[in-house]
Each structure stands twice: as structure tokens, then as C-alpha cells.
Amino acid sequence: MDKGKDEKFKWMAGGIIEATEELEFSNGEETITIHEGDRAIVGFDGYLYPLKTAVKLEIGADDVTLEGFSATGLASFLVGWLDGAVDLENCLRGTALDTDILRDAIEKALVAIGMSREGVEEETD
């Protein structure tokens, strides 16, 4: 997550980002260390939510601009959440579905309502 002094990060709400170096954040009560390779979802509320911890970290408005909404990140987050909450992989056993198929279906549904697929340039007519 290297940016020049005057540059801002441009992230999509719902996008999943990965730390490229060890970072420390303070949420007022404690200091949270995000290790290189750790991932976090960019919240729709202006916070980062590390996927390995149950904390939220405020995004510095001076450092980050939120642009658009990520169907890809949100679909991945939802499938991971459901797997942890209801053992989704086990629920899908014996069916023609798996978590990858479900993630793709959720992503397509979110794209259908105006979110963007990350890593894919939007087509123009």
C-alpha cells in the first residue's frame, strides 16, 4: 500500500484489499497490527474491516477516496461470512453447487444492480 505523499488510495466500497507491508492502526482503545498479506474489506461506512479480526478501522479521508462499489469483494465477503456462520461448504455437499459457484452467482446479481466487477474494465456501447 505504497502511495506518494500527495496521492490518495482509490478503493471501491466492498472491495477487498491486501496489505503490502506491516501497518499499525489505533482505534482509540488499542493498537491493531495488520501484517503483510492480511486482507480487509472496505466498508460502505468509511471503515476497514480486517478479515482476521473483529475490529473496524477508520479510513483516513486524507489518504483514501472511495470510488464505486465492488461486487467481487462483497460476494467473496458474503460467502466467507455465510461459511463461518452456517457452515456453507457442508450445507452445499451433495448438491451441484460449491462456494465458487455461489460466489459467482452473488457477484453477477450485484453487477446486475449496478456494482462493478473488480479487475474487469467496463464495456462501453
Q: In this structure, what DSSP letter does residue 97 have? A: -
* pLDDT tens digits, 67-117: 888 999 999 999 998 998 999 999 999 999 999 999 999 999 999 998 888
Q: What is the pLDDT of residue 61?
A: 61
pLDDT at 13 (0 to 100): 87
pLDDT at site 26: 73
Sign of CA dihedral 95, 41, 73, 22: negative
**Residue 76 contacts residue 16 (beta carbons within 8 Å):** yes
pLDDT tens digits for 30-74?
788 888 898 888 888 878 888 887 778 877 666 677 788 899 999
Whole-angstrom distance, CA of residue 68 vs CA of residue 73: 12
Mean pLDDT on 11-22: 87
- Band (pLDDT 50/70/90 cuts) for residue 124 is very low
Nearest CA-CA partner of 19 in 44, 46, 53, 45: 53
| Grid cell listed for 43 | 466498508
